[in-house]
Amino acid sequence: NAGVTQTPKFQVLKTGQSMTLQCAQDMNHEYMSWYRQDPGMGLRLIHYSVGAGITDQGEVPNGYNVSRSTTEDFPLRLLSAAPSQTSVYFCASSFGSANEQFFGPGTRLTVL
């Protein structure tokens, strides 16, 4: 099993550009989530999904969209990048929200 994979590992954007961060898991997990981690801080939940076709907002959803068309994939879209979105983004998956979450290696995003 590859576990949770994320692409790209690094990305630099200009203000106003859009892009999609990819996340995939091969563990047949129903629950997937996106977090951002700013320097010296904990992870903050952006969006999550409890299964294919179902998504919901977390603590800091503004400026981001998600979709869950399959169990395996959970892409995160930045609609119009802003410098405040400079962060490290982690995707995670688990059997349910009250279960151990497996994290991907992260995407380091810089918005100029």
Partner 1 sequence: GESVGLHLPTLSVQEGDNSIINCAYSNSASDYFIWYKQESGKGPQFIIDIRSNMDKRQGQRVTVLLNKTVKHLSLQIAATQPGDSAVYFCAENYNNNDMRFGAGTRLTVKP
Indicate which single residue of 28, 70, 97, 110 sits in contact with partner 1 (rule: CB under 8 A): 97
Size of the site for partner 1 (CB under 8 A): 27
Residue 15 Cβ vs partner 1, minimum distance, rounded to whole Å: 23
Contacts of residue 18, Cβ cutoff 8 Å, sequence gap at least 6: 77, 78, 79, 80, 81
SS (H, E, C) 13-32: ECCCCCEEEEEEECCCCCEE
Residue 51 Cβ vs partner 1, minimum distance, rounded to whole Å: 11
Structure token pair of residue 108: 């380091």
Residues engaged in binding partner 1 (CB under 8 A): 4, 31, 33, 35, 39-45, 48, 50, 56, 58-59, 90, 92, 97-98, 100-106
